[in-house]
Amino acid sequence: MDESNGNAISRRGVMGGAAVGLAAAAAGPAGAQTSGTPASRTAAKDDPTTKYPKPPFRSQSQPWPGLAGKMDPRPDHGETSYKGSGRLQGRKALITGGDSGMGRAAAIAYAREGADVAISYHPDEEPDAREVIDLIRKEGRIAVALPGDIRDEALCGRIVADAVRELGGLDILVNNASRQQQRQSLLDITSEDFDATIKTNIYAMFWLTKAALPHLTPGSAIIQTTSEQAYDPSANLVDYAMTKAAMMNFTKSLAKQLGPKGIRVNGVAPGPIWTPLQVSGGATQEKLQQFGGDTPLGRPGQPVELASIYVQLAAADASYATGQVYGAAGGGGQP
């Protein structure tokens, strides 16, 4: 889920661009008059370097796990911008951490693509979760709220069972919920810290997937939110980065196991994304204020900018994609 590091142009494209430039120069003043056309304004609006807020951000902190509704600026999960086209019509999805961040963006997108959606979340995230439930229901889809601490194996089993019962089945599982707490030194990571991160990020993924498998049929999809931290770990996110690498390998290994059964398994590896992870202990205040500023796009990503990736990986027309990890890191991350 990351959000942490804040951390090819073809010859034909170059020549084409040169040709356009020469044509514009030849046009002289007449060409200059087109700068205010609707097309040019649309292009400016879609400029990825200016489309969303850039640092510096104000210093802010919240107790873990944090609420998106209290962040400044408030993250964009696609509440007003994501438009669906029926790509997931009739599907049944369970998304962990569906109250905020990429989980929320996926939940909104899935509902607008025609899916019924269950979200699990920590009880302290209830205000954010209620907003998501309302947004799903406004699309005329079934919405299921499943609060609880997924560090408990029995609860993970109940979450899956409740989702299957309320949705009438299950064919998409998104293992998105994660815990991220920065520590400047390994000596600062207590056994309790380590245990909480491992159980939230790895054990819960294992328990939830194991509980879901008996309900999944050919054409189903499992998606993990891993991170650029799996490839390029930060010095102060040792335990978190470990779990994200484990999630990546879980994705690739399970894809090989489930491929013959017609069940696809893929991952999403975000870079610095503006979510409650950052303001609730996932980043230092210094890092937070400049969050995402060192990417080529000069800003952090917004959760909505990854929504279409989660849709694509769940959609039937991506039927040959399995064992893949899709990155979105503003130009500075991997893969």
Return the active site residues: 240
User: In angstroms, rounded to a whole number, what is the distance separating the alpha carbons of residues 119 and 156?
Assistant: 12
276 touches 65 (CB < 8 A) = yes
Task: Encode 184-209 in three state secondary structure.
Answer: CCHHHCCHHHHHHHHHHHHHHHHHHH
Does residue 162 form part of some domain? yes
pLDDT digits (tens, 9 = 90+) for 125-173: 999 999 999 999 999 999 999 999 999 999 999 999 999 999 999 999 9
- Whether 75 maps to a domain, the answer reads no
- pLDDT at residue 334 in the model: 76
Q: Is residue 36 part of a domain?
A: no
pLDDT confidence of residue 27? 40
Beta bridge mates, 266: 223
Given this model, what pLDDT does residue 33 score? 43
Residue 74 lies in a domain: no
CA distance 248 to 269: 9
Q: What is the CATH number of the domain that holds 289?
A: 3.40.50.720
Q: In what order do the strands lie in the sheet with 92-96?
A: 143-147, 116-121, 92-96, 172-175, 221-225, 264-270, 325-328
Specify the amino acid at residue 116.
D
Q: Would the pLDDT of 20 be above 90?
A: no
Identify residue 270 by its one-letter amino acid code: P
For residue 11, the model assigns a pLDDT of: 33
Lookup result for tokens 């980043």: 283
Instruction: Give dist(CA 278, CA 127) in Å, integer.
Output: 18
Is pLDDT of 3 > 80?
Answer: no
The least confident of 31-40, 77-86, 103-112, 188-197 is 31-40
Looking at per-residue pLDDT, the higher value among 42 and 183 belongs to 183
Does residue 14 register a pLDDT over 80? Answer: no
pLDDT in tens, 41-62: 666 778 999 999 999 999 999 9
Residue 24 lies in a domain: no
pLDDT of residue 316 exceeding 50: yes
189 within domain boundaries: yes
- Kindly report which listed range (6-10, 80-84, 117-121, 241-245) carries the lowest average pLDDT score: 6-10
213: pLDDT strictly greater than 50: yes
**95, β-bridge pairs:** 119, 174
Least confident stretch, 21-30, 91-100, 132-141? 21-30
State the average pLDDT over residues 167-194: 97
CA distance 224 to 202: 11
- ∠ CA 199-143-251, rounded to 5°: 40
Domain of 296? 85-328
Is 16 a member of any domain? no
Q: Is residue 72 part of a domain?
A: no
Using N-to-C axis directions, what is the helix angle for 238-258 and 191-198, rounded to 10°?
Answer: 30
For residues 100-123, average pLDDT? 98
39 — pLDDT class (breaks 50, 70, 90): low
Query: Which secondary-structure segment (H or E) carries 244?
Result: helix 238-258
Query: Strand pairing partners for 93?
Result: 117, 172
Residue 258: φ, ψ to 5°: -95, -10
Confidence of residue 182 (pLDDT cuts 50, 70, 90): very high
How many structural domains compose the chain?
Answer: 1
Q: pLDDT band at 13, cuts 50/70/90? A: very low
What is the pLDDT at residue 9? 35
- Fill in the amino acid letter for 218: P
